[in-house]
Amino acid sequence: MRKRRVGLIILFLTGIVTGVVWRHFNIAPFPQLHRWAHPKCEMPTTANIPERDATAIVLYRKNVPLFIDRHYFDSSETEIFDGSYLIQVQRHRTKNLNLLVQKDLIAYRILSEANDNTPFADWNRSNLRTKVQGAGCTHEIIIQKKLAPGEYFLPAGGPISACPLLIKVIDQGLPDLGFEVK
């Protein structure tokens, strides 16, 4: 009985040592199991990553991302932005936006209380609120300003996050947008 117990202990320890060595040197079937459990995923190409300070002009609709590089959108029920153009910028843009206005328009910004909003002190605050939930802050405050034709350098916002910019052209005639972003 004692010999049998010693034999089982030696067999058990030999099995453990063999398993450790087998796993350490990555002997079959471990590589195959790893490939099966963790298949290679496609890495995004650099073509999908927007350039630094890139902008895009899109017609605003519900569930359209407000930033060019993040999937953050307005989850409120406000309809103030219907018929507006959204200037998509990178979430952490720091460079000013150069806006060339050809027609009268109303510019809307969505601010976060976590940001420094002093550059927008001369803008009119709206009673409506929105909700753009991000990882670092939430954009809820809507401000607006009427802009006459001319050139404007609008701050991006920050330091936590850039502030989304929406443009509503007054008396818009298609297909001319009435503004240009540089």
At residue 47 the predicted structure's pLDDT band, cuts being 50, 70 and 90, is: low
Largest CA distance in the chain: 100
Number of H helices, E strands in the chain: 2, 9
What tens digit of pLDDT does each residue of 14-33 get? 989 988 887 777 777 777 77
Q: Which residues pair with 116 in a beta bridge?
A: none
Q: Give CA–CA dist 35/141, Å, rounded.
A: 48
Higher pLDDT, 149 or 19: 149
Residue scoring higher pLDDT (38 or 145): 145
pLDDT in tens, 113-125: 999 999 999 999 9
**Residue 37's pLDDT band (cuts 50, 70, 90):** confident
Which residue has tokens 């300003």? Answer: 145
Q: Locate tokens 């990178």: which residue? A: 90
Q: pLDDT tier at 64 (50, 70, 90 boundaries)?
A: confident
pLDDT at 146: 94
Residue-range domain boundaries for the chain: 2-37, 46-181
C-alpha distances (whole Å) from 44 to each of 41, 50, 91, 129, 179 are 9, 12, 19, 35, 33
